[in-house]
Amino acid sequence: MVMLGSGPLRRTLFVGAAAGAAGTTALNSLTYLDMVLRGRPGSSTPEKSVRKVAEVFGIRLQGSEKEQENRVAGLGPLVGVGAGLAAGIAAAGLRTAGWRPGRTAGTVAASAMALLAGNAPMIVLRVTDPRQWSVADWAADIIPHLAFGAAAEAVFRGMDA
């Protein structure tokens, strides 16, 4: 078992996780608000990603077909939460290493990390192709990620990280 103690690694992990959680909440809230306002469906890419990873690694989800679908429906959003936590921890790592961005640079950096953490695996798995996205698709992706960055930056500033 790894003990983190009370040093900079522990602080980086905890502050980063808090920033990632706040950012993920902001991103999800804005995404759901967009769905309400425009009457659009949720994205199917998280579930497609889960299915693709299972296919690539030869993983078969247990249970009936319906139970497997339910597991995929739960795993998709959980992967997004994990990506948000990872982006927050990565941003905290930069700060632990000495980077002290201004508010705008910190927001943009955290947004970019969340965009990469969320989208890069889907692009690599060929679940999505941003070159095929419409302007509305790009806006529906970038704006919530900017909200992620703003919320994460607020946590960093509040914790003096």
- CB of 25 within 8 A of CB of 154? no
Say how far apart CA 76 and CA 47 lie, in whole Å: 5
Mean pLDDT score of the chain: 94
pLDDT band, residue 7 (cuts 50/70/90): confident
Least confident of 3-17, 23-37, 58-72: 3-17
| pLDDT value of position 160 | 84
Alpha helix (H) residue ranges in the chain: 8-38, 45-56, 65-96, 103-124, 135-158
Single-letter amino acid, residue 22: A
| pLDDT value of position 86 | 97
Q: Let me know if 45 is exposed, middle or buried by CB neighbors in 10 A (0-12, 13-18, 19+).
A: middle
Say how far apart CA 128 and CA 122 lie, in whole Å: 6
pLDDT band, residue 8 (cuts 50/70/90): confident
Distance of alpha carbon 36 from its chain centroid, rounded? 21
pTM of the entire predicted model: 0.91
Please state, as a whole number, how many other Cβ atoms lie within 10 Å of the Cβ of residue 152: 33
Least confident of 1-15, 67-81, 89-103, 126-140: 1-15
- CB of 126 within 8 A of CB of 56? no
| pLDDT value of position 11 | 92
pLDDT band, residue 38 (cuts 50/70/90): very high
Q: How many residues are recorded in the chain? A: 161
- CB of 72 within 8 A of CB of 51? yes
